[in-house]
Structure 1
């Protein structure tokens, strides 16, 4: 009986090993859609990396850290209620689309509540970015704007290159 288990284990491991070797040999880098390898064209504004390269004083660094910590604590405190709200919205959406008859008034109401939720999140994000930007001097703000413009131009070039590559295939 023990011998049968060993052979079964070997029989299962061989296809798995060969399959994983072929994936590694092909250099799999991710899915067809979306960013690959964690590369993103978006410039983060709420983390440390957005301010990298700026000559920040220790006081500015401390203030930015305080803001990030405040935001993190706020998100953590609101997390459970926000998750519950999103679950309720998703349940209502599923109920609406699975119903025998489509209720346009309910769909409008649900869509409006989804827009309100998203708007509140965007306003909070802008408030945080404003707080962080108010810590910077005018020169630092200008450097950040220039850095963002360079990154955007570089990203556009990458996108054009990818599009021309896809068109030629």
Structure 2
């Protein structure tokens, strides 16, 4: 097989192989729902246990709907731009892993770029959670903390049993 064909084949097979391996490593498509879907993340079930007033429920509903509308507009608006950025990122990764020699500096730069983007997403997520929790009364916030700690403890217990 010619070198060009080998490179094209490697460019197709390598991402599929790595993607599949990472999906299996994280438990398939439901990797964020470990231990029965109750561990990790912002649990709306906890919010349901806080005896929210109708006004608070309406505020939360409006926040969720606004978030959905924002995401939908974002995806519709910047589709081509986002796709071009994803393609450029994919090409950087491919160039890095398929190079004859490994470029540590380029890998560090790429990793930093990825970490910065993830940090931005997490800050936005935390901001939205803060907004949602800011509508709670001090008593509801205390109860939220208690319920979250109970949930965290249950998750820790499940993880301990799971890893024995």
User: Is the counterpart of residue 39 in structure 1 residue 36 in structure 2?
Assistant: yes
What SS does the aligned partner of 1:39 have?
coil
Q: How far apart in 1 are the matches of 2:115 and 2:106?
A: 14
**Greater Rg over alpha carbons, structure:** 1
**Bigger relative CO (Cα 8 Å, ≥ 6 apart):** 2
Aligned residue-pair number: 133
User: Is the counterpart of residue 76 in structure 1 residue 76 in structure 2?
Assistant: no
Q: CA RMSD in A?
A: 2.6
Q: How far apart in 2 are the matches of 1:33 and 1:142?
A: 33
Q: How far apart in 2 are the matches of 1:108 and 1:141?
A: 41
TM-score by length of 2: 0.69
User: Is the counterpart of residue 54 in structure 1 residue 50 in structure 2?
Assistant: yes
Matched-pair contact (CA < 8 Å) for 2:47–2:144 = yes
What SS does the aligned partner of 1:120 have?
helix
Question: Which residue pairs with 2:155 in the alignment?
Answer: 155
1:160 deviates by 2.0
Matched-pair contact (CA < 8 Å) for 1:96–1:103 = yes
Question: Which residue pairs with 1:135 in the alignment?
Answer: 135
Question: Which residue pairs with 1:66 in the alignment?
Answer: 62
Moved more, 83-92 or 103-112: 83-92
Instruction: In structure 2, list runs of 5 or more residues that go unmatched.
Output: 1-23
Q: 1:33 to 1:123 in 2, by over 3 A?
A: closer
1:111 deviates by 1.4
Matched-pair contact (CA < 8 Å) for 1:43–1:151 = no
TM-score by length of 1: 0.67
Higher helix share: 2
